[in-house]
Structure 1
Amino acid sequence: MSEKADILNLAEGMDKRALTGQKHPKPAILGIPSGFIIFLMFCAVIFSFGAVLFKVLVAERQAAAREIKSVSRVFENHKHALLKEMERYAASNAAYENTETHPSIDWIGSRFGVDMALDFKHDYTAVLDKDRNVIFATDLHGHTNADIYTRQIDEQLEATLTVIRKKYRQGLVRSAGQVRFAGELSDISGVDIVEIDGRPNIAAAFAIVPDPGGIDMTYGPPNILLTIFKIDTVHLGNLLASLSLDNLKFVTEVPDEMISVPLANNAGEVLGYLAWYPMSRASSIILSSIPILLISLGIILTIALVTMRQNAHARRSLARREKEARHTANHDSMTGFASRGYFHTLAANWLMVRAALRNRASVIYLDLDNLKQVNDIHGHAAGDQLIVEQARRIRQVLGSNGLIGRIGGDEFVILTDRWGAGKPQQSEIEELFRILSLPVSFEDKQIETSCSAGIARFPEHGRKLPELIRAADIALHRCKQEQKNSFRYYDERMDDQLREQRELRIDLVSAIRENELELFYQPIVTARTEVAVFYEALIRWRHPRRGLVSPGVFLPVARNARMMPEIGTWVLERALGEARGWETAGVSINVCTSQIRMPGFAEQVGDLLARNEFPADRLILEITEDLLMEEGAETLRTIRKLRDLGVRLAIDDFGTGYSSLSYLHKFRFDKMKIDRSFVSRIGQEDEADTLVRSMLGLAKAMGMQTVGEGVETTAQKEFLVDAGCEYLQGYLFGKPAPLSELDLSQFRQSATA
């Protein structure tokens, strides 16, 4: 068969499918016996009732499963809450000194037998010494009774106590001739279910350790504080306080019609059950409503017969509007382009025709870069106007040559064989981007706009639409990473790079969890004396296989994965924690825009300063220039709160982003950091020298101190000093290094300064 015949057959098949999709349903045939219709409707209602009853029964089972899960979770939370109560008594310097350093039975009895009993209710308390002997024991009534432990509890808790003692010994470290505990409190505590006098009890144990520490310790097994809580009416009442149950009780055998949660010890032995009647019992109510249903059924069927006649008239009216409704459903109301689903249908046929004709085509995946920013700054009406105008421009450039779909809020996919020779002609695609980059008018304002695009070619990069869109999307992703307001052609090597980034993203999630991140510090010195007064905290990733990964590699991955707020919080906590022991040296920390946008960021900084007892005026937060594009009221409030705390703010990498005098005036920074790209050209380009002097003059005029970044030569240093730069940073004064490798004399110099 000839190529032309193939194409005609293909087109005919497409027409038939189109006609099938537009075929109107035939009206109901008149003359059908009404009794048959009523019978069918009756059967439908009965079936529906049965289906509802079935769903109710299924829902009851699911509700029972949720209740069991809720009770189990609350019971576990209850056990851990008991451990938290004990922590306040077992983890203290006084407890350690009076049980280990200078044992005092009177103090133990007063603290653990009286104070703790008044603080939270429990039924039995015991203190075990390092030799596992009971040195103190008392019950709820104040009776000393060590036999309860030795006769009924000791053997059941042996495994739990052994683990606690082992973890305690592992947590002891020797440092500078002293012993201290460096483990986690959660490792030296445990809870189990034990049986006393035939009933289950919650047994909680906690090793006695110093907190906050700073006192002499001995190297050996711990003393252990033990409390017993009966699972009785009081404890069940505490559980009910957070549940919607009113009949929870303890049983050894679960009665019929009740559901339960087993009470098992850590060895898996079931000692009893918490049982209750399920809340959802709607099936019995539904069954009792069958007579009412039958009466209602007759009324409903009568009304249905009348409605059928009215529907015949309505059908004719709906048919007249069907064509308009179909168009509305298949096209975007704002742009007139094909909607996502309809576009995929049309595109499949469009590509089949090009394949039959052996024509080449291009797929352009286009994204409006700043739609969200326009919505945030100018309102959604401006964003809608931007979309409408850009759609008009696309249609103006492409005309009727191609297929266009709006597949997302700010995303368009264009299929065109206008550039059938393969790659779109460079001049034509550049003209499209030039037009799309022109400002858009809105309410007498000119809104700046830009777009990015990835371009794939048919059939080289795929013969099906999903393959082509994937290739174009990968190219678009690369474009946004490298340079917005531009376009990139798909290259197979992009797949490898995308896979590499995906692996890095997965490893980065693990790195945060496995504590593979660390901080290096680089000194910031005074320009004239070269004394270190601040240290900039710089994040590093020590990958188990790749070694030390540069932040220039993994931070863009973290930014795309929206992990920067989490990483930024980690840097803040670690840097302030490590800097708390410095005398008067300050720390400078980079924060990203997404971190500042987080609700409560200023409060978080204030809490960390208070927790680490670190003066606010010794903390500098370095903010990149992309924050200056944020005019939101919440961002300004956050900046003001940070200023009220006394924190200093620095604009980082000045001159590389969106700097303007109005933004600098609005945000009122304390310091300006001259980017290394300018410093590196000092003495090599007259323009660079002039720019640096201008930046320093601007900072001085606005009351900001200045820091020159990336200083590596004496000539650069002398130029900056002569130009009035107040602080310097770079390899000339010290490379970034871990805290353990820093010369501690630098800190003493800072204190002297």
Structure 2
Amino acid sequence: MAAKTDTGARLANAILFPVVGLVLLAIALSVGLIAYTSRSADIAALNSERNLLRGSTGLQLELLAKEQEGVAVWDQAFFYARPETLSTDWLNANVGQWLYSNHGHDQTVIVSVGGEPIYNSVRGRLKAPEQAEHLLETVKPLVARARARFIASFSRLPSGLYYVERPKTGFTRSLYETGFAVFEGEPAMVSVTAIGPEMKQFLSARRPPAVLVSLKKLNPPRLAALAERSGINGLRSVPDPRKATGGAYMVLKSPRAAPLGYLAWAAENPGSAILSGVGPVLFFLAATIAGLTGLVLFYTRQNTRRLAESEARAQHAALHDSLTGLANRDFFAARFREELADWEVGKESIGVIYIDLDHFKDINDTLGHAAGDEVIREAARRLRVLVPEEATLARISGDEFALLLPGCDTRERIEQVLKRMQDRFAVPMYIGGQHLHVSLSVGAATAPEDSLSMGELLRKADIALYSAKASGRGRWAFFDIGMEEHVRTRENLAHALREAIAREKLTVVYQPQTTIDGTKVLSVEALLRWTDPDMGAISPAVFVPIAEEIGLINDLGLYVLRRACQDAAAWPHLGLAVNVSPTQFRHPRFIEDLRDTLEACAFEPTRLEIEVTESVFADNDTDILKVLTQVQKMGVRVALDDFGVGYSSLSYLRRFPFNTLKIDRSFIADLEIAPHAHAILSTIIDLGEALGMKVVAEGIETRQQAAILLRTNCDRLQGFYLSRPIPPERILEAERRLAGDEDTAAPAMISLSA
């Protein structure tokens, strides 16, 4: 019996010990597995939270750079931040205070092209620039990289000039660098953006830019918002990582890679929660393990869902415009490619429509960027409800929108959509407490009629948009081949004009202004002429508007002024009249350019008379009147050209004492046919005499016109009857002829070809 018992015991032990061992081993393995799983889950959750926080922080840094873009990529900021045109007051009002009031930037610093601080404000209040030196020393690597990116973005043209090539895609069009610094003893986000022009500007050499440095302190409200976006709890700033619980912290490094602070938060630690729940109840190990496994899976699923949602948000942000919520250029291009890939012969056409808000820059300049942004948002809302459901509406850039309209069976269907747009925008927008009338210019192209290439269709729609604007704005145009030829011709003319100015291939001719009896030359008017070797003679009515459009009008005007002053040095007894375009007159350096030219040519200012038309008063007559006053203080005389054709000529005469009135040629042409023309002409002459102004009648083409004017109090005559415009070497000959030194019975026309 005892033997059987021992045998049974041995058998039981043989069975029990292994089973117990297996159970113990299973329990040990289970505990170890649970502990391992718990620790792994804690680490995974912590890494997930850290990655989410890092991604959210990166998005905030990009958003900070995006906020800077509105004032950094701006012609006026580029101008007023240059050493020669530095205006701290302007920068304070339009950069520092604007960034603080609209985006909450705590500190704004502008570094000049030479690398020293020229502007500093803290929370919108102007501070001494040298107080920002400590910050600039910290972010010096960011400043250096932003400047280097700007310089590297210069592209060289065949002419040898450079222009800045901005990013064509991406979150911003600016060239920037981001990082972290310390502000008031706490970590802060920093963005450094190169200040550059909005449009392409052509420079003779690559130059470093001024840079805009903006800073946002990571204060509790911003940390709370960052925590909410990242899906973490209790985010705070700590000086020492040892104060972070469970290693839940992220180091913030300065641009020099030195730690400057830490962001700590309350980690979820799902694994530890599981382990603490099942430790005391090993008896229910199996059930607990199953439950814990389910809990781990639940937490994993939650974290995965958060990651998926974050990725979806990031993907949406990458394909949509942040201001309007519309598709962006990348999304539009992708939809365009899909539609073209699905198109087959026999299918309906695909319409591509470019939309541009007319005079949007004027709204930005007069009402500010905030009002401009609201106009963009309101335009997007109106367009969104007007376009068909199957269409794709996108904001391409600035005030430009694009519409992809598939399934267009006829052009009339596209025109119906365009008409609804124009009708809707005929209703004023209520922006900033006032009603704004914002019209649209629209260009359209269709596939397959115009092309099956995405690039070609977009280009042709853009050409049609240009044609619509050229025809008067507030209208639409469909592409046709004649537009392309017109654009190509204008491009050729623009290129040839640049070459002509650069190589001084333009000529200046002069038309005399004589005494009332036509016998003595008192002054000459400089007139520009251009004869291209390939295109022949080109009228100023053609190339002057092109110079306005491509930004060459100031160079063109200075070219005429310089040549005229050089030529007129040979006639010290004669006055010189030079026309100044409205665009040239409004240029901020006009007074300096005028003074420099007179000094360089050693030309007496009292001999010069600049001629302006009423159109110079179109924008801000107060500023224009100040410039005119400065011109007169220099000794230069001012003439109002084409007097009588504007609706408000008399109001200008009342506010500004012009030296000379030039009667428009239309009044002279009517002298021999209109019964009241003589009376009107006499009234204008008497008005000029009463105001103490010299009066010049231009456009004298017949002996009868000259005879009529001889009986008036007009001071000077000018026209083909007396002399055509002539080259400078013929001026003295024209004087002798008009004085009667040559054998002529009456003034004869002097031809340029003679």
The aligned amino acid for 2:575 is: G
Q: Per-residue deviation at 1:516?
A: 1.2
Within 5 Å, give how 1:62-141 maps onto structure 2: none
Within 5 Å, give how 1:9-20 maps onto structure 2: none
Question: What is the match of residue 331 of structure 1?
Answer: 320
Change (3 A) 1:378 1:643: farther
* Contact 1:394–1:432, Cα closer than 8 Å, also in 2: yes
Q: Could you list the runs of 5+ residues in structure 2 that have no partner in the other structure? A: 1-35, 48-240, 251-263, 270-299, 740-754
Question: What is the match of residue 360 of structure 2?
Answer: 371
Matched, 1:557 2:557: no
The aligned amino acid for 1:639 is: L
Question: Which residue among 741, 746, 753 is the counterpart of 2:735?
Answer: 746
Tell me the C-alpha RMSD between the 2 structures: 4.6
Q: Per-residue deviation at 1:658?
A: 8.3
Question: What is the match of residue 107 of structure 2?
Answer: none
Q: Per-residue deviation at 1:575?
A: 0.6
Question: What is the match of residue 388 of structure 1?
Answer: 377
Following the alignment from structure 1 to structure 2, what is the Cα–Cα distance between the partners of residues 437 and 725? 48
Change (3 A) 1:341 1:554: same
Following the alignment from structure 1 to structure 2, what is the Cα–Cα distance between the partners of residues 437 and 693? 45
Q: Per-residue deviation at 1:645?
A: 0.7
Following the alignment from structure 2 to structure 1, what is the Cα–Cα distance between the partners of residues 681 and 374? 41
**Mean CA deviation greater in 424-433 or 389-398:** 424-433
Question: What is the match of residue 643 of structure 1?
Answer: 632
Change (3 A) 1:310 1:580: farther
Q: Per-residue deviation at 1:341?
A: 1.8
**Mean CA deviation greater in 360-369 or 627-636:** 627-636
Q: Per-residue deviation at 1:317?
A: 3.9
Matched, 1:631 2:620: yes
Q: Per-residue deviation at 1:417?
A: 5.6
Question: What is the match of residue 467 of structure 2?
Answer: 478
Q: Per-residue deviation at 1:455?
A: 2.5
Change (3 A) 1:421 1:673: farther
* Contact 1:453–1:488, Cα closer than 8 Å, also in 2: yes
Q: Per-residue deviation at 1:537?
A: 0.8
Following the alignment from structure 1 to structure 2, what is the Cα–Cα distance between the partners of residues 702 and 635? 20
The aligned amino acid for 1:573 is: R
Matched, 1:603 2:582: no
Question: Which residue among 721, 727, 730 is the counterpart of 2:719?
Answer: 730
Within 5 Å, give how 1:235-634 maps onto structure 2: 316-320=305-309, 322-352=311-341, 358-395=347-384, 397-398=386-387, 400=389, 402-416=391-405, 420-422=409-411, 429=418, 432-433=421-422, 435-436=424-425, 439-527=428-516, 529=518, 531-631=520-620
Question: Which residue among 701, 705, 714 is the counterpart of 1:712?
Answer: 701
Change (3 A) 1:726 1:471: farther
Q: Per-residue deviation at 1:739?
A: 0.7
The aligned amino acid for 2:492 is: E
* Contact 1:348–1:464, Cα closer than 8 Å, also in 2: no
The aligned amino acid for 1:478 is: S
Following the alignment from structure 1 to structure 2, what is the Cα–Cα distance between the partners of residues 530 and 487? 55
* Contact 2:562–2:601, Cα closer than 8 Å, also in 1: no
* Contact 1:583–1:747, Cα closer than 8 Å, also in 2: no
Change (3 A) 1:541 1:390: same
Which TM-score applies when normalising by structure 1? 0.52
Following the alignment from structure 2 to structure 1, what is the Cα–Cα distance between the partners of residues 686 and 315? 64
Following the alignment from structure 1 to structure 2, what is the Cα–Cα distance between the partners of residues 449 and 718? 52
Deviations 1:240-293 (A, max 9, x none): xxxxxxxxxxxxxxxxxxxxxxxxxxxxxxxxxxxxxxxxxxxxxxxxxxxxxx
Following the alignment from structure 1 to structure 2, what is the Cα–Cα distance between the partners of residues 323 and 649? 64
Change (3 A) 1:33 1:390: closer
Deviations 1:685-729 (A, max 9, x none): 789899878877886787655444433334555676778765443
Change (3 A) 1:581 1:380: same
**Mean CA deviation greater in 667-676 or 507-516:** 667-676
Following the alignment from structure 2 to structure 1, what is the Cα–Cα distance between the partners of residues 684 and 336? 53
Local SS of the residue matching 2:699:
coil
* Contact 2:518–2:722, Cα closer than 8 Å, also in 1: no
* Contact 2:387–2:417, Cα closer than 8 Å, also in 1: no
* Contact 1:620–1:649, Cα closer than 8 Å, also in 2: yes
* Contact 2:658–2:693, Cα closer than 8 Å, also in 1: yes
* Contact 2:349–2:409, Cα closer than 8 Å, also in 1: yes
Q: Per-residue deviation at 1:735?
A: 1.3
Following the alignment from structure 1 to structure 2, what is the Cα–Cα distance between the partners of residues 302 and 357? 65
Between the two proteins, the alignment pairs up a number of residues equal to 465
Following the alignment from structure 1 to structure 2, what is the Cα–Cα distance between the partners of residues 722 and 315? 96
Local SS of the residue matching 2:411:
coil
Following the alignment from structure 2 to structure 1, what is the Cα–Cα distance between the partners of residues 637 and 390? 57
Local SS of the residue matching 2:557:
helix
Following the alignment from structure 2 to structure 1, what is the Cα–Cα distance between the partners of residues 319 and 598? 56
Local SS of the residue matching 1:742:
helix
Following the alignment from structure 1 to structure 2, what is the Cα–Cα distance between the partners of residues 454 and 691? 46
Local SS of the residue matching 1:495:
helix
Following the alignment from structure 1 to structure 2, what is the Cα–Cα distance between the partners of residues 695 and 332? 57
Change (3 A) 1:683 1:485: farther
Following the alignment from structure 2 to structure 1, what is the Cα–Cα distance between the partners of residues 385 and 671? 48
Following the alignment from structure 2 to structure 1, what is the Cα–Cα distance between the partners of residues 497 and 341? 43
Percent of matched pairs sharing the same residue:
34
The aligned amino acid for 1:476 is: L
Change (3 A) 1:682 1:438: farther
Q: Per-residue deviation at 1:574?
A: 0.9
**Mean CA deviation greater in 347-356 or 545-554:** 347-356
* Contact 1:711–1:730, Cα closer than 8 Å, also in 2: yes
Local SS of the residue matching 1:595:
helix
Question: What is the match of residue 141 of structure 1?
Answer: none
* Contact 2:339–2:406, Cα closer than 8 Å, also in 1: no
* Contact 2:509–2:527, Cα closer than 8 Å, also in 1: yes
Question: What is the match of residue 240 of structure 1?
Answer: none
Following the alignment from structure 1 to structure 2, what is the Cα–Cα distance between the partners of residues 700 and 427? 58
Change (3 A) 1:582 1:742: closer
* Contact 1:362–1:424, Cα closer than 8 Å, also in 2: no
* Contact 1:709–1:730, Cα closer than 8 Å, also in 2: yes
Following the alignment from structure 1 to structure 2, what is the Cα–Cα distance between the partners of residues 558 and 404? 34
Change (3 A) 1:628 1:354: farther
* Contact 2:519–2:738, Cα closer than 8 Å, also in 1: no
Change (3 A) 1:503 1:651: same
Change (3 A) 1:384 1:33: closer
Change (3 A) 1:578 1:328: same
Local SS of the residue matching 2:327:
coil
Q: Per-residue deviation at 1:564?
A: 1.6
